[in-house]
Structure 1
C-alpha cells in the first residue's frame, strides 16, 4: 500500500531529491528522498528512530478534501493493518484525519515489476511462476482482511530478494466514491482492469484474479494481454474481445487463460492458481531460491538497498541514552483494528519529531527522576513511533497552579465588580424612566394648568423612537459535492461544513438511516420545493409547507430542499446524486447554500 515504484524508464532516478514543494517532515518522520508520484499522491523515503527504512505516501489534497474518501481511507487503513502476509508490505503507521492524510509502510528495496520489464524485458517462466504464486498468497491475506485490491498492476508489485510484494491495496476503493470520480471517471489502470470493473459493475475478489492473469501475461511477454493505446480502446477490448496470448509460454497458457475468463464465476480460486503454478513447475513443490530473479534484475535490488542514510536528529532536551522505556498509551501502529463505524479514528503520528515538551504523555515523575523514552508495542520490524518526553519538575507545576488560581481570583473580582456597576447603572435608568412616566401621568390626570411646562414630558413634534435602518441581506456560503452518508449530519453554522457522525441528537440536518433527511433542532424545519422551482433565500423564507423530515425516495437529481434551523440559519440543499447499489455505504451527494442568521 506504499506506492514505492519510482517510475518507468530505462534508468530511473530511484532516490529523487526533495523539491521546493515537497515537505521536509510528515508528522514526526524526517523525509530523506522522494521515491515517486502517482495519481493518488507522492511517496517519500523516511526512517524510524531505530533506522528502519519506511515509505510514506502523502495523499493528494483533492482527495483529502472529500469526506467520503476520508471515511473509506480510514476503513481501508485499519483493514490493511490486519494484513500481515509474507508477500505484502505491512502498513505500520497512518493519519487519516489530518490536513493531509498519509500512511507509512515498510520500505521494499526492489524495483517494481513494471520497471524491471521495461529495463530488462520479459521474465523467465520459472520466475513468473514464483511471482504469480507469491502474488496469489498476497491476495489470499488481502481478501481475508475484507479488501479487494481493485488496482493490481505491474507497478504495484515490487520484486524483493525473497519474493514479490503487493502494495497499494485498498486505496483505489477509497478514491472510487470521491467527488473527483463521481463524473464517470473509474479508478484503476485500463490495461489491467477486469471486464466487470471496466463496465462499472460489481467488483469482487475475482476481479483481482483477472488482474493477476494480466500481470502474469505481461511479466512473461513484456506487453499487456489486451494491447496498448487509448484507454477507451483498451477497455473495449477487455470487455468484448479475447486477449492476445500468442507469445505466452506454453507452460503458462492454462494459468493465464483461466484467469482471464470474462465470467468472474469461471475464474480459478487462489488455491487453484497456486496449484496451477505447481503443476507448471518442473518440481512438485515451488521452491524459492535466493536467485529467483535474473541477475540484471537482482542488481537493481542492490542499488535500492543503498538508500540515502537518515539524517541524525538530536533528541529533545533531557533525553539520555540510559533512559527507562515504558509503553506509550494508545494503540501501536501495527495493531489489528476492526472495521470503521462512523467517524474515522485519529491515527497516531510519527516518531521523534512529534515531541511536545508541554504535554506529558504519562503522569509526571517525581523530581530528579530520569527522562523516559516512550516506546509503543513493537511491530513486525521492531519498535515504532518513539516519542520523547522531558519530565516537568513537580514544584514548578504547583507554582503554575497557584499563579493560575490567583489570576482567576483577580479576574473574578474585577469581572464581578464590573457586572455590578453595569447592572446598577441599568437599574437606575429603568427606575428613572418609570418615575418620569408616573409623574407625567399624575400631571395629566390632575387637571391643573401648565401641562406643557417643565416636567411635562417630550417636546411637541419630537420623536422618541430611533430612525429605521435597512438591514443588509446575509451573504451566501456555498459548499459543493458533499457526500452525506446515512447516519451522519451537517451543522450549518460550521465555518467548513463537513459530515459528522450521528443522526439523532438535535442536529440541524441529518441523513437518517431510516431513509430520510431530518431537522431536529427546536424550531427547525424542512420544505421540499416543487420540481422545477428555483430555490433562493426569498423562496425559502416565503414557503410555509413545513415538515421535520423529507424521505429520500421523493428526491431526484436537481430537487431542492429548504432547511431552517432553530439557531437562525437558512440552507438550500440541491441533490446531485446517490450512491450506487453495489456501494458498501449509503450516501447522497449534494450542494449546500447557507445564509447564516437569515431566519
Structure 2
C-alpha cells in the first residue's frame, strides 16, 4: 500500500474500520481499527491506559479448538514474553485459555518488508545490510529464549524509523501441531522455507538462518530466490536446486550464498552474519542513520504513525435514546475513583440500561428508578481501553448526530410558514419555467437560441468533439545507456548522448541511478508483474526524480514522464558484465511523443 491514501472518513486505508463480524472489545481492550488478517487470525489496533498503541492478534477459532495448539501456544507465549530485543515487537499481554486465544504486542508504525518492496521496489544495498544486521540481532534474542521462528518472511518483518522489527515468532510452532495440518493446511510460507522444513525434517535455529538469506535476496532484488509459482514447485526447487542470485548485488552475494546452504551446519552463525554485513559495508561498525530507508518507504511510516484514536465511550443521551442506541457506561455522581473501580472508559464496558429521559412526563406517584450497578472492575492487566476526546463522524464508535429539539407549538408554526413560502415560491418558479419554455419554442422555430439558455442550448445543437487519439508508439530495442550519458525522448533516432546536465530527459547518473529532467520530469518504478503501457504510465502517480539501479532487475519497467509532454517506457534487459570496460544498462525503450499536455504531469 504504498503511501496509503486517506479514505472518505479521513483515515488511512491501513487502518480499516471494524465491520459487522469484528468484535468491539477484546478482554477489556477497546478496538479502534482492523490492521489486517492472515492465515492465523486477525490483527486489531487498540490502546493501553497510558495511550500507547498495541496490536492485538486474535487467533482463528479453528486453532483455538485444538487442545495441542492451545498447549503449545501457551508455552510459546510464555517464552515470547521473555524476548526483549531492540529489533522485536515485545509481547505485552495474552490470553491462552479463553474461548478465542489472543496476544497483544507493541504496535510498530511501519510497513512490512513485503508491502514496501511491492510498492516501491527493492531496497538499496546499504538499507539491506542494516535490515539483515537488525534481523540477526532479533534472531539472537529469539533463539536465546528457546524459540525457533519457523515462519521468518518479509510480511513478518516491519520497517520502523529506527530499524526492523521481527514479529510473530513462535506462533508457527503452535500451529504446526494442530490437526488442521493433516487436512491440507500448510504452516509456513513455501517461498521462504528451508530445505529441512520442506522435507519434514528437524527444525533448528539454522532454519531461520536459511530464511534470513531468502529475505535478504528478496529485499535486494524484489523477487524470491527460488522463484514463484505453485507451492510444490517452489518447495522442490528449495530442496533440490540452487537459488537464482543473478540479480543480487555483488556486495551481498557472499552473505546470501552462505545463508542459503542446503546443509544446516554449513550456514553462518549470527555473529558471522553481522560480521559479513560489516565487511560488506566497508566499516567495522554499522551505523543506522535516521533516514536508513528510501524516502517513499519512510513516508509510509509517517502514515502508519498517525493511528486513529481509540473508540470513545459515549455519554448518556440528553434526550430519549433512539432505537438501537445502547450506552456503554452509566452516569454516576462524581466521586474520587477507588483502587477497585477503574475510571470511566477503561476495561470492559459495564452494562447500562437508561431509566428515564431527561424530560419525562410528570409522574409524581413513581419515584426515579435507580441505575444498575456497574459490572465488577477488571483486573489491572486487562484494563486497557483508553478513551479519547473525539471520534470522527462515520468511524465505528462515533455517536450518531441528533437533530435539535423544538417545542411543539413553535415547531408547528415554523413548519406552517415554511409550507406557505414553498407553495408560493413553487408556483412562481413553475410560471417562469413554463413561460421560458414557450419563448424557447418560438425562438427555436425561427432558428434562434432560447433566451437564458446560454451554453446549454449550444451544447444541445452541437456534436460532442471526439477525444484526441493516442500517439503511435515508437520502439527502440537494445539501447545501451552508459553511466554519464543521457537520452532525449524527442530525438529521432534516439541515441545516448554524453553528459548528465542540460536539456536531457533521462540520464544514467554516475551515482548509479536513473535521473529525470529537472523541470517537469518524473519517473515511476512499476511493480513487478505490472504491465507497462501508456495508460499505466499516465495513471500511476508514484513519482520520483530518481530510481536507483540496484532496485532494478531484468524485466522491471520504469515510466518516464517529461515536461515536454512525452511518455517513455523503459524495460530493463540486462546490465554490463563485471569485466566490462564501461558501466551500462541495456534497455528496450518505447516512446509516445506528445502523449500528455506539456509541463502538466498527468
Calculate the TM-score normalised by the size of structure 1.
Answer: 0.54
Report what 2:226 is aligned to. 226
Q: Does structure 1 retain, via aligned residues, the 8 Å contact 2:30–2:47?
A: yes
Q: Does structure 2 retain, via aligned residues, the 8 Å contact 1:93–1:104?
A: yes
CA 1:92–1:351 in 2, change beyond 3 Å: closer, same or farther? farther
Report what 2:81 is aligned to. 81
Deviation at 1:24, TM superposition (A): 1.1
Give distance in 1, aligned partners of 2:167 and 2:335: 36
Deviation at 1:9, TM superposition (A): 10
Give distance in 1, aligned partners of 2:184 and 2:197: 12
Q: Does structure 2 retain, via aligned residues, the 8 Å contact 1:120–1:297?
A: yes
Q: Aligned with 1:158: secondary structure? A: strand
Matches within 5 A, 1:329-344: none
Report what 1:151 is aligned to. 151
CA 1:321–1:253 in 2, change beyond 3 Å: closer, same or farther? farther
1:353 counterpart = 2:313: no
CA 1:387–1:226 in 2, change beyond 3 Å: closer, same or farther? closer
Matches within 5 A, 1:242-391: 242-313=242-313, 323=337, 352-353=347-348, 385=384
Deviations 1:271-323 (A, max 9, x none): 11111111111322100111111011000000001111112337776697964
CA 1:178–1:7 in 2, change beyond 3 Å: closer, same or farther? farther
Report what 2:191 is aligned to. 191
Give distance in 2, aligned partners of 1:278 and 1:327: 54
Deviation at 1:374, TM superposition (A): 8.7
Matches within 5 A, 1:12-161: 13-161=13-161
CA 1:176–1:246 in 2, change beyond 3 Å: closer, same or farther? same
Report what 2:172 is aligned to. 172
Q: Aligned with 2:242: secondary structure? A: coil
Deviations 1:127-163 (A, max 9, x none): 0000000000000111111110000000000000000
RMSD: 3.1
Report what 1:409 is aligned to. none
Q: Aligned with 1:180: secondary structure? A: helix
Give distance in 2, aligned partners of 1:274 and 1:256: 12
Give distance in 2, aligned partners of 1:94 and 1:295: 36
CA 1:387–1:256 in 2, change beyond 3 Å: closer, same or farther? closer
Q: Does structure 1 retain, via aligned residues, the 8 Å contact 2:29–2:385?
A: no
Deviation at 1:79, TM superposition (A): 0.7
Deviations 1:235-271 (A, max 9, x none): 0000000000011011101000000000000000111
Matches within 5 A, 1:541-552: none
Q: Does structure 1 retain, via aligned residues, the 8 Å contact 2:195–2:262?
A: yes
Give distance in 2, aligned partners of 1:33 and 1:45: 5
Give distance in 2, aligned partners of 1:316 and 1:7: 43
Give distance in 2, aligned partners of 1:384 and 1:283: 47
CA 1:374–1:59 in 2, change beyond 3 Å: closer, same or farther? closer
Q: Does structure 2 retain, via aligned residues, the 8 Å contact 1:117–1:222?
A: yes
1:203 counterpart = 2:203: yes
Matches within 5 A, 1:383-532: 385=384
Q: Aligned with 1:352: secondary structure? A: coil
Give distance in 2, aligned partners of 1:321 and 1:226: 65
Give distance in 1, aligned partners of 2:67 and 2:308: 36
Calculate the TM-score normalised by the size of structure 2.
Answer: 0.53
Q: Does structure 2 retain, via aligned residues, the 8 Å contact 1:355–1:387?
A: no
CA 1:262–1:9 in 2, change beyond 3 Å: closer, same or farther? farther
Q: Does structure 1 retain, via aligned residues, the 8 Å contact 2:47–2:386?
A: no
Report what 1:465 is aligned to. none
- Matched length: 344
CA 1:229–1:211 in 2, change beyond 3 Å: closer, same or farther? same
CA 1:300–1:229 in 2, change beyond 3 Å: closer, same or farther? same
Give distance in 1, aligned partners of 2:218 and 2:384: 39
Deviation at 1:55, TM superposition (A): 0.6
Deviation at 1:234, TM superposition (A): 0.2
Q: Does structure 1 retain, via aligned residues, the 8 Å contact 2:3–2:299?
A: no
Give distance in 2, aligned partners of 1:300 and 1:35: 14
CA 1:257–1:9 in 2, change beyond 3 Å: closer, same or farther? farther
CA 1:89–1:155 in 2, change beyond 3 Å: closer, same or farther? same
CA 1:187–1:10 in 2, change beyond 3 Å: closer, same or farther? farther
Q: Aligned with 1:55: secondary structure? A: strand
Structure 2 unaligned residues grouped into runs of 5+: 7-11, 315-328, 353-375, 388-602
Q: Does structure 1 retain, via aligned residues, the 8 Å contact 2:17–2:34?
A: yes
CA 1:22–1:258 in 2, change beyond 3 Å: closer, same or farther? same
Deviation at 1:30, TM superposition (A): 1.1
Deviations 1:338-395 (A, max 9, x none): xxxxxxxxxxxx96117699xxxxxxxxxxxxxx999859xxxxx975899xxxxxxx
